[in-house]
């Protein structure tokens, strides 16, 4: 009897997750009807966003969202995983626990605080030092040309990387700590150096957890709103330059929804929400595939 | 026993607060500072009436009024014919105060910059790219202008301020009217967007060469420097409570019966050109009698005593003619 009740209660909880997802999609689908009817699939690659002409296209926002998130991961993955390896494998225990406490604290800081840090610290740094240095070194590439405002894709990516690093460190470190002692000892017994043990045994063993941390970081980056809208420049025009202002899906919804009038305009904003949902699903699916592919290769190889 | 009596007393006191007449409104952000002051002051005078106001934006205010989830709406732009047609209960526009929008800029070494209409349109259309452009020099004789790039900063969030500013640009520049047009969010030809007046002014302060626009009351409150603008009569004027009121006085003579009027680029030597009314949207039919009485008494108070709060907050009070016309309109609320 008790088992049966427990089964039903947990079933209800489990079903609520499915229900929320279905309701969410149903609601987004319904409210975006006017926009879907007018633009069709062209919405996805339309590049114009003009509330006065009632002409809306999602491409600049999709580009901005995916672009800043990927750039952020390029910065945060090596730093985050590297820091996690240090904390789990090499740091003295006292330092490791102190750092871990700080990292977990950072992961819990609200994003608007990161936005303030970004506006007052990152933006001037980018404008005065980093962007001129990049322009000097790579100025022949279109990505590093144009006026250096200190706000734009690159700054947004740097801020996102700062925000995702704590997640990557915290979860990767947990994964690394869960590698059984035997694995390390076996490798050391076979004559591997500490370095070889870490990179050929411990990290491959923990790679699922590390991948998980990266995708959690990516999820945060894709959906981040406040901190990004404060530094990206909020301009729905496509620019080749990484110094130029851009826009993301979450930011435009937050900025324009309150004042949006008319079924098509609000519909287009809601449809952007649907697109963000889709982007997240695609990326999650890719993550699953990646995990499957790496799992099939078998466990750690010890040479 | 004593404590339980005290608890019952507390509970009764609490319920009597709840049973006060609550009126809910939502909408415009532009007049929020003065609205929150008014509603608080009015509550102190009439403790039985509590007006809750959410400054979610004019679009949201109109949408909620249309859906019937609030008792009144508020908007920084007059409702369009299409929006009026969607209303189940006809609503009246009540102008409450006037606000101005001022250009702000960051040009080290340059003070008291003057903005001509050609200059504003050219800068925001991305036709004038450098601060030493001849059009800017012509409006500012004797000022040493740097050869730096102009960075346009605009509001990223939908805003009544953007509506007023772009409404002005549409009036002075046919090219602006045919291109970006006027709305609470538009497709900007150039520049970067920032959230809120704080975001916009923060960006301008940080970036030499930047130019933007903020509400007059915001510049007034923050003690910011702002430029003067050339009005329709050709006079360069700084926004002040007086010059914004003068813009409305011209409009008062030709005020349409439904108060849906734009007063940007108003005629008159003393009229500041980038100014606008902001409106309360009150349904003509309010079934609940106490609620109707409460709203009507608020409107009457707002049109008389409330107007005295304007100047201290950087808003301009309504001209007398408009107040008289609005008092007549109150009779249409049933």
Q: What is the pLDDT of residues B287-303, one digit of tens each?
A: 888 999 999 999 999 99
**How would residue A160 be classed by pLDDT, with cut points 50, 70 and 90?**
very high
The residues, any chain, with a CB within 8 Å of residue A108's CB and separated by 6 or more, are none
Task: Supply A43's token pair.
Answer: 């919405």
Q: Quick check: A303 pLDDT over 50?
A: no
Write out chain B residues lying below 8 Å of A236, CB-based: 187
| Å between B199 CA and nearest CA of chain A | 8
**How would residue A299 be classed by pLDDT, with cut points 50, 70 and 90?**
low
Give the pLDDT of residue A159: 95
Give the pLDDT of residue B6: 55
Q: How far apart are CA B203 and CA A255, in angstroms?
A: 17
Among the partner-chain residues A50, A258, A261, the one whose CB lies closest to the CB of B56 is A258
Work out the mean pLDDT of chain B and round it to a whole number: 89
Residue with tokens 């088992």: A3
| Nearest-by-CA chain B residue for A124 | B206
Mean pLDDT across the stretch B70-82? 91
Among the partner-chain residues A52, A119, A262, the one whose CB lies closest to the CB of B181 is A52
**How would residue B255 be classed by pLDDT, with cut points 50, 70 and 90?**
confident
Give the pLDDT of residue B19: 55
Mean pLDDT across the stretch A174-186? 92
Determine contact, residues B44/B313, Cβ cutoff 8 Å: no
The number of C-alpha atoms within 13 Å of A208 and in the hemisphere containing its C-beta is 15
Spell out which chain B residues touch chain A, with contact meaning CB-CB distance below 8 angstroms: 56-60, 62-63, 80, 82-83, 149, 151, 156-160, 180-188, 191-195, 199, 202-203, 206-207
Mean pLDDT across the stretch B68-72? 93
Mean pLDDT across the stretch A72-78? 94
Q: Quick check: B1 pLDDT over 50?
A: no
Cα A214 to Cα A183, A208, B130, distances in angstroms:
24, 10, 44
Helix, strand or coil, per DSSP, at residue B280: strand
Would you give the DSSP letter of residue A150?
S
Determine contact, residues B258/B293, Cβ cutoff 8 Å: no
Give the pLDDT of residue A46: 93
Task: Supply B12's token pair.
Answer: 């009764």
Q: Quick check: A140 pLDDT over 70?
A: yes
Give the pLDDT of residue B253: 77
Among B187, B191, B210, which would you mutate to test the A interface (most chain A Cβ atoms within 10 Å of its Cβ)?
B187
**How would residue A297 be classed by pLDDT, with cut points 50, 70 and 90?**
low
| Nearest-by-CA chain A residue for B185 | A51
Give the pLDDT of residue A14: 94
Give the pLDDT of residue A302: 46
Write out chain A residues lying below 8 Å of B87, CB-based: none
Helix, strand or coil, per DSSP, at residue A233: coil
Exposed/middle/buried for residue A43 (C-beta within 10 Å: 0-12, 13-18, 19+): buried
Strand B236-237: give its sheet, edge to edge.
Answer: B114-115, B228-230, B236-237
Please state, as a whole number, how many other Cβ atoms lie within 10 Å of the Cβ of residue B291: 17
Among B62, B193, B207, which would you mutate to test the A interface (most chain A Cβ atoms within 10 Å of its Cβ)?
B193
Q: How far apart are CA A148 and CA B240, in angstroms?
A: 36
Q: Quick check: B313 pLDDT over 80?
A: yes
| Å between A161 CA and nearest CA of chain B | 21
Give the pLDDT of residue A145: 87
| Nearest-by-CA chain A residue for B148 | A147
Give the pLDDT of residue A296: 58
Residue with tokens 């969202």: A65
**How would residue B2 be classed by pLDDT, with cut points 50, 70 and 90?**
low
Q: Where are the beta strands (DSSP E) in A96-255?
A: none
Give the pLDDT of residue A258: 80
Give the pLDDT of residue B10: 52
Mark yes or no for CB contact B59/A123 under 8 Å. Answer: no
| Å between B186 CA and nearest CA of chain A | 6
Spell out which chain A residues touch chain B, with contact meaning CB-CB distance below 8 angstroms: 48-53, 119, 123-124, 127, 147, 149-152, 229-230, 233-236, 245, 251, 254-262, 266
Mark yes or no for CB contact A234/B186 under 8 Å. Answer: no
Write out chain B residues lying below 8 Å of A248, CB-based: none
Mean pLDDT across the stretch A190-204? 91
Q: Quick check: A29 pLDDT over 50?
A: yes
**How would residue B118 be classed by pLDDT, with cut points 50, 70 and 90?**
very high
Residue with tokens 């324009």: A256
Q: What is the pLDDT of residues A31-57, one digit of tens each?
A: 999 999 999 999 999 999 998 889 999
Mark yes or no for CB contact B56/A51 under 8 Å. Answer: no
Give the pLDDT of residue A57: 94
The residues, any chain, with a CB within 8 Å of residue B330's CB and separated by 6 or more, are B296, B299, B300
Mean pLDDT across the stretch A59-63? 95
Give the pLDDT of residue B268: 87
Q: What is the pLDDT of residues B40-51, one digit of tens each?
A: 999 999 998 899
**How would residue A260 be classed by pLDDT, with cut points 50, 70 and 90?**
confident
Exposed/middle/buried for residue A193 (C-beta within 10 Å: 0-12, 13-18, 19+): exposed
Its pTM surpasses 0.80: yes
- Work out how many CB contacts closer than 8 A connect A with B: 90
The residues, any chain, with a CB within 8 Å of residue B229's CB and separated by 6 or more, are B102, B103, B114, B115, B117, B120, B236, B237, B239, B272, B273, B274
Work out the mean pLDDT of chain A and round it to a whole number: 90
Task: Kindly provide the ipTM of the predicted complex, given to two decimals.
Answer: 0.81
């Amino acid at each position: 009897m008790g088992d049966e009740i427990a089964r039903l209660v947990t079933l209800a909880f489990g079903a609520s997750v499915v229900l929320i997802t279905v309701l969410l999609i149903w609601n987004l689908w319904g409210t975006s009807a006017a926009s879907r009817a007018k633009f069709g699939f062209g919405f996805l690659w339309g590049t114009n966003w003009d509330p006065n002409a009632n002409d809306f296209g999602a491409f600049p926002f999709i580009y901005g969202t995916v672009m800043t998130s990927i750039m952020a991961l390029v910065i945060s993955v090596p730093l985050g995983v590297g820091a996690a390896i240090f904390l789990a494998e090499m740091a003295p225990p006292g330092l490791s626990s102190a750092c871990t406490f700080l990292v977990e604290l950072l992961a819990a800081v609200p994003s608007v605080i990161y936005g303030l840090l970004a506006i007052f610290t990152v933006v001037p740094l980018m404008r005065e030092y980093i962007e001129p240095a990049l322009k000097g070194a790579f100025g022949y590439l279109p990505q590093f040309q144009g006026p250096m405002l200190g706000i734009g894709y690159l700054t947004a990516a740097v801020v996102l990387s700062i925000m995702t690093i704590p997640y990557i460190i915290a979860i990767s470190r947990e994964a690394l700590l869960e590698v059984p002692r035997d694995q390390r000892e076996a490798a050391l017994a076979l004559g591997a150096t500490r370095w070889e043990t870490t990179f050929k045994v411990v990290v491959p063993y923990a790679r699922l957890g590390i991948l998980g941390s990266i995708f959690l970081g990516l999820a945060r980056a894709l959906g981040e709103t406040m901190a990004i809208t404060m530094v990206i420049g909020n301009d729905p025009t496509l620019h080749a330059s990484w110094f130029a202002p851009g826009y993301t899906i979450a930011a435009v919804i937050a900025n324009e929804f309150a004042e949006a009038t008319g079924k098509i305009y609000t519909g287009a904003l809601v449809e952007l929400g649907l697109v963000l949902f889709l982007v997240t699903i695609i990326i999650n699916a890719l993550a699953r595939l990646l995990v499957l592919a790496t799992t099939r290769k078998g466990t750690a190889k010890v040479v | 026993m004593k404590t339980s009596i005290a608890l019952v007393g507390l509970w009764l006191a609490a319920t009597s607060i709840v049973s006060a007449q609550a009126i809910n409104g939502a909408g415009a952000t532009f007049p929020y500072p003065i609205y929150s002051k008014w509603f608080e002051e009015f509550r102190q005078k009439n403790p039985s009436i509590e007006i809750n106001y959410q400054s979610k934006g004019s679009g949201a205010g109109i949408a909620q009024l249309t859906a019937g989830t609030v008792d009144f709406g508020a908007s920084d732009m007059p409702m369009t014919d299409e929006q009026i047609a969607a209303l189940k209960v006809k609503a009246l526009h009540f102008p409450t105060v006037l606000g101005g929008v001022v250009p702000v800029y960051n040009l080290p070494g340059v003070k008291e910059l003057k903005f001509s209409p050609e200059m504003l349109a050219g800068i925001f259309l991305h036709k004038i790219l450098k601060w030493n452009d001849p059009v800017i020099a012509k409006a500012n004789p004797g000022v040493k202008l740097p050869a730096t790039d102009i960075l346009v900063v605009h509001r990223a969030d939908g805003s009544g301020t953007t509506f007023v500013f772009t409404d002005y640009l549409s009036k002075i520049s046919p090219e602006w009217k045919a291109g970006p047009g006027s709305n609470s969010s538009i497709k900007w030809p150039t520049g970067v967007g920032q959230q809120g007046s704080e975001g916009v002014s923060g960006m301008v302060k940080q970036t030499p060469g930047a130019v933007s626009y903020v509400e007059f009351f915001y510049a007034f409150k923050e003690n910011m420097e702002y430029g003067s603008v050339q009005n329709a009569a050709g006079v360069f004027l700084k926004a002040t409570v007086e010059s914004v009121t003068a813009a409305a006085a011209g409009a008062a003579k030709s005020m349409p019966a439904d108060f849906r009027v734009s007063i940007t680029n108003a005629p008159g030597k003393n009229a500041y050109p980038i100014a606008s009314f902001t409106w309360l949207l009150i349904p003509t039919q309010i079934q609940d009698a106490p609620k109707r009485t409460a709203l009507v008494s608020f409107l009457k108070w707002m049109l008389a005593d409330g107007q005295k709060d304007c100047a201290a907050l950087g808003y301009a009070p309504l001209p007398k003619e408009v107040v008289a016309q609005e008092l007549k309109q109150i009779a249409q609320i049933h």
